[in-house]
Amino acid sequence: MEVAISNRINDLMEQRGLSKLEFAQALDKRPSEVTKWLSGQHNFTIRTISLLSSFFGESIIEVSHKPIPYEPYEPKPLVAAEP
């Protein structure tokens, strides 16, 4: 997921002709932080994703609308330990 987010940020930066330095300055961040974002190794917080979405005026991530199969939890009967 991190790589997909990094790729999306990089694509949006390229579309707008922003260098890493310009992008960092616009967000009041250090260029090293932007480098981490673009590395594909950064764990993004919801706050950062929200900041980036607001900055670009576009979604950074897409949430799948595919239903997740649900299996109700059925507890197993307790078995007494053998002495």
The 10s digit of each residue's pLDDT in 14-72 is: 999 999 999 999 999 999 999 999 998 889 999 999 999 999 999 998 876 777 778 88
| Distances, alpha carbon 24 to alpha carbons 20, 27, 37, in Å | 6, 5, 11
- Crossing angle (nearest 10°) for helices 20-27 and 46-56: 110
- pLDDT at position 71 is 81
| 76: pLDDT strictly greater than 90 | no
Range of the domain at 40: 2-56
Determine, yes or no, domain membership for 19: yes
Q: What is the CATH number of the domain that holds 19?
A: 1.10.260.40
8 Å CB contact between 21 and 31: yes
Look up the pTM and report it.
Answer: 0.71
Cα dihedral 45, 47, 53, 54, rounded to 10, equals: -170
CA distance 39 to 59: 19
Specify the number of domains making up the chain. Answer: 1
